[in-house]
Amino acid sequence: MSEPVFVLKVALSGDKDVWRRIAMLGNQALDELSWVIFCAFDRDDEHLYSFYFPKPGSKGRARIRDAAEYSHPACCEEGGLAFGSSPTDASEATLSSLGLKPRQKFHYLFDFGDEWWHDITVEAVDAPRERGKYPRILEKHGKSPPQYPDYDEDDE
């Protein structure tokens, strides 16, 4: 049986006009999703990250605080660096293992210092599989902001 193909729309939380559509196989891990997001948004410098899967109906601060968290393997080794929690290793969680459903939303935080938040929407869990390597970037919309904006010295 071939692996299902998941299609995810990843948008910058502060700018919904900047988003990427990504396809991944069900046996690929969240760690691989982090890497393809890194590439899709033209990042230069790797950082720690976490994915957050909120409980249905949760709102406000509880949405992230009480969410299931999957983090960079180094966070798990250190006992959880993001928000003082004990996250699951993202390299061990495949998309198929997460029970994702179409229209489900979850969050991705890249760089705990600069806090690049992304909103991820599951668009498909059984898209047609095409030839070639996965994960893959299907579509880019909007220009990625620089990872480290240039600030004028006069602004400091």
Q: Would you state the pLDDT for residue 82?
A: 47
SS3 at position 94: strand
For the chain, list the domains and their CATH numbers. Answer: 5-155 (3.10.290.30)
**pLDDT tens across 2-11, in order?**
889 999 999 9
pTM value is: 0.87
Residue pair 131/15 in contact (Cβ under 8 Å)? The answer is no
Q: Cα(49)–Cα(34) distance, rounded to whole angstroms?
A: 8
Beta-ladder partners of 137 = 22
**pLDDT tens across 59-106, in order?**
877 788 888 899 888 887 754 454 556 788 999 999 999 999 999 999
Count the neighbouring beta carbons within 10 Å of the beta carbon of residue 51: 26
Distance of CA 34 to the CA centre of its chain: 5
Q: Which position has the token pair 């939380």?
A: 13
Reading the block at residue 7, the tokens are 């299609």
